[in-house]
Amino acid sequence: MTTLATTAAPATRRGAAGPARWRDLLGAEWIKLWSLRSTPVVLGVLLVFYLYLAYRAAQLAHDSYPTWPAFARRDPDPAHDAFDFPKFLLLMATAGTIGAMSVAGEHASGLIRTTLVAVPARGRVMLAKAMVMTAVLAVLGLLVGIGCWGITLAVISDRITGFSFTTPGIWRVIAGTTVMVPVCGLTGMAAATLIRNTAGTVFAVLAFFLVGPLAVKAPLPLLSADQRADLGNTLPAYAWGRLTLMSHGHLVEHVGSIPAAWISLAVWAVVSVGITVTVLRHRDV
């Protein structure tokens, strides 16, 4: 009689893989974003362009200062020139487009399918993408904020005195710019997640950031002037604009409070991330 020997099967297979680590997800999304040659080029051009705009605005204020009326010389607001609202609408629109293309581009190329085969956890993938986008655009916003103010001080300091990096309120302006840029990018990502069409997404983002702030100030049916102002103050553009005001001389109409402006930006960021992370779970790619 012979005895058959059996070998116990291993309890686990060496090839079984666990959930993707956050470090790997963030690294993969960083590579996707930064490996596109257009990304560093666009970000670099934006930074240089807005530093130049700040220089030109400061030079104009410096040269025209002797002709200012007395009340303007008593209460100057260099931040109003360094962070000119209409000019910064283009930065918002570009940041929104960068965020939108990070999502729409993957859907158009089919890369999103490959990504989700490797990492089926859709929510984690999109959250990692949002985190990388936030970090990159926040650095851009910080450099723009510090650079614009630094250049303004360097140009105007011999005529318009009393301002520095310790001026009360200036770090609110810089922080607001640092937050505003990624908020616009996250809004663009949410728009791309909902629309899922490259041309339609870009059109919607540009219309929202370039036309929206102007359209909401136009006479709208069934809305009073105060209601239109309240509606406008909820937009990221006007929330950032409120944070950049350092002189009461520029409060020419109904504006929201500073806490309300921070809350508005935070709500846009949270809602945008929520849309980006959750909607893809219920859609085919």
- In 3D space, the residue among 29, 41, 37, 84 whose CA is nearest the CA of residue 60 turns out to be 84
How much is the pLDDT for 4?
44
Crossing angle of helices 236-243 and 258-279, rounded to 10°? 150
How much is the pLDDT for 170?
93
Residue 168 vs residues 70, 103, 151, 161: alpha-carbon distances, Å: 23, 39, 18, 14
- In 3D space, the residue among 283, 280, 231, 282 whose CA is nearest the CA of residue 260 turns out to be 231
In a domain, residue 11? The reply is no
Q: Can you give the residue range of the structural domain that contains 146?
A: 22-282
In a domain, residue 16? The reply is no
How much is the pLDDT for 265?
96
**pTM as predicted:** 0.87
How much is the pLDDT for 14?
38
How much is the pLDDT for 24?
81
Give the position of tokens 């009073």: 224
Q: Could you tell me the sign of the dihedral formed by the alpha carbons of 170, 176, 178, 181, in that order?
A: negative
CA distance 100 to 9: 49
Residue 78 vs residues 62, 152, 274: alpha-carbon distances, Å: 10, 7, 37
* CA atoms within 13 A of residue 268's CA, in its CB half-sphere: 28
The domain total for the chain is: 1
CA distance 28 to 58: 41
Task: Tell me the mean pLDDT per 10 residues along the chain, length 285.
Answer: 43 48 84 85 95 95 88 84 92 95 82 73 86 96 96 91 89 96 96 90 94 82 75 89 73 72 95 91 64
